[in-house]
Structure 1
């Protein structure tokens, strides 16, 4: 990501990373030998913002033992032409090409993009199967599933870039016809939404018990707009929804996404970036609630880089996770940092 000396700017839900600001704080890596699978990051080069394999490799090189990563849908490198429905296949081709670059060993030992999650428009209904089959072919054995973002809110200050998305997407009958195509192809579904929508995902999970679902970013707890200044009240509502959806055995949770502006913390506006102690203090209630509800075998730490890079470095984010998880057993830590992700995304770790 290119450096910037400008004041923090954001797209609403997350701040743009600033390398010079992040460089003001570095710390020793905690438990540096622990193997980590980072199950959620993006790669893009657009709008003057670049986060590609070189930037990812540089972040990994700051000290944590990242053994593999999972690339997740962010509309990168869609095909410019051809049928609209099949344009996301270009993202799979791109992500697979990056994985081949990583496999050369020229970008460090981590298997970057060992798993690939892209997008297919499930509102195509039954026709989504053809797109999914094309993505499986393009993934060269690495394609694992899709994300069709359902994040929506009536308030623009909350919805941000998702303001034009349809309300109630997960309940739509045509969407569910497309969703039904996933399990027969052994594909999973990444769910990105805001916490008031968790109930809709729980309904979907119960309707399709054989489809593997992962709830991204701790279920998107919101601290902006009408939720600003109401952290305790919102937390209680969010916690109840987390405890309910955790009853669905086909759902797991990603622990992260909390360094986006969505949560309502202002780390990106401070003169210096947060330490891992400060980050852990802010995020601990959310992460511990999720682990308690789902259990370590159904929870995985994620970087969500580069969106979360707007508030902290790669070094700090995983140090914060290690501080929060210090209370757990060795087997539980292994699940949280690598095993759950490797099992869910069917990764072959070297």
Structure 2
């Protein structure tokens, strides 16, 4: 488990304003025993990621001015109706947001937007639960995420293999999904590359609902897909292009430091440099920007999950290398503007 610490890199373009539109917070028991799946390395390295850790990353050299919190099942209520327990996560994150909104930690605004969780399989009844999240979020609730990630090979998702396939095609789910737009809420989608047609179908069925594809659609290079990343690139690219034809869909550029693509940088010792990371990720990032345009793309940290490949400051250096050829207007969108608009932050 021990990984050599990477040498500090000079911060590239330190004055470029950033909104980090995807991070988590949690406090979980440190695992015992060796990881049984690559993803489990995350909890071995970062069982705790709360405001102190987030602020240390936000202030590690880049001009990260605000963040958007993404649901991860943290701080659920211990009792009460099952469908309302996720309110605990929204309440918790709103408290963290209030702490930084006080200004005592400087001008940063952590968790300026909150993406929580409501089970849309509740159908029409999801509306009442969504309204309760809005009520407890202090004006910060922006939408929800329901993960559809599934693969027939349990080795792909490991501990995250929790549901069967076809969630976004489910009629009851879509009944609940239809309650988002009337409340002004967006939807974050996490699924795996072979499942992208499900999201394309959902987006075509609900053109009025803002949808954000997380982690460029999670390309796969482990389990049954080991050694097949290049082989499947063309399939992924065509699905990305089809999804980009839906104008209400945007995409987060990141998550490629997770275990699922199987890149050499994952748990590398010594850790990869930002230049190495940028070259690994370039085909996926550039394809997304070409398909969606900078105005519908946003770089994301996915921290602390992506810590298995790099530190926070190295991650943003890699993104800046990837955007080196972009215009000033395109950089403004990729690093700040798209997230500000899609999550209605008003910054």
TM-score under structure 1 length normalisation: 0.93
Structure 2 runs not aligned, ≥5 long: 31-46
* Superposition pairs of residues 148-163 of structure 1, within 5 angstroms: 148-163=146-161
RMSD: 1.1
Where does residue 84 of structure 1 map in the other structure?
82
2:220 to 216, 219, 222: 222
Deviation at 1:348, TM superposition (A): 2.2
Question: Which deviations, in whole Å up to 9, do the C-alpha atoms of 1:270-303 show, x marking residues without a partner?
Answer: 3211111000010011000000000000000000
- Retained in 2: the 8 A contact 1:212–1:251? yes
Structure 1 residue 7 corresponds to structure 2 residue 7: no
* Superposition pairs of residues 254-265 of structure 1, within 5 angstroms: 254-265=252-263
Deviation at 1:199, TM superposition (A): 0.6
Where does residue 37 of structure 1 map in the other structure?
19
Q: What SS does structure 2 have at the residue aligned with 1:129? A: helix
Q: Distance in 2 between matches of 1:30 and 1:269?
A: 23
Q: What SS does structure 2 have at the residue aligned with 1:66? A: strand
Q: Distance in 1 between matches of 2:96 and 2:117?
A: 17
Structure 1 residue 278 corresponds to structure 2 residue 276: yes
Moved more, 264-273 or 197-206: 264-273
Q: What SS does structure 2 have at the residue aligned with 1:262? A: coil
- Retained in 2: the 8 A contact 1:25–1:272? no
* Superposition pairs of residues 184-199 of structure 1, within 5 angstroms: 184-199=182-197
Deviation at 1:267, TM superposition (A): 2.1
Q: Distance in 1 between matches of 2:329 and 2:63?
A: 17
1:309 to 307, 314, 322: 307
Q: What SS does structure 1 have at the residue aligned with 2:331? A: helix
Q: Distance in 2 between matches of 1:245 and 1:348?
A: 27
Q: Distance in 2 between matches of 1:269 and 1:299?
A: 27
1:28 to 2, 5, 10: 10
Deviation at 1:162, TM superposition (A): 3.1
Deviation at 1:268, TM superposition (A): 3.7
Deviation at 1:170, TM superposition (A): 0.3
Where does residue 15 of structure 1 map in the other structure?
none
- Retained in 1: the 8 A contact 2:68–2:110? yes
Where does residue 42 of structure 2 map in the other structure?
none
Q: Distance in 2 between matches of 1:223 and 1:256?
A: 16
1:213 to 206, 211, 215: 211
- Retained in 1: the 8 A contact 2:267–2:308? no
The list of structure 1 runs, each at least 4 consecutive aligned residues, that deviate by more than 3 angstroms after superposition, is none
Deviation at 1:239, TM superposition (A): 0.8
- Retained in 2: the 8 A contact 1:54–1:107? no
* Superposition pairs of residues 69-148 of structure 1, within 5 angstroms: 69-148=67-146
Q: What SS does structure 1 have at the residue aligned with 2:260? A: helix
- Retained in 2: the 8 A contact 1:152–1:165? yes
Pairs aligned (count): 331
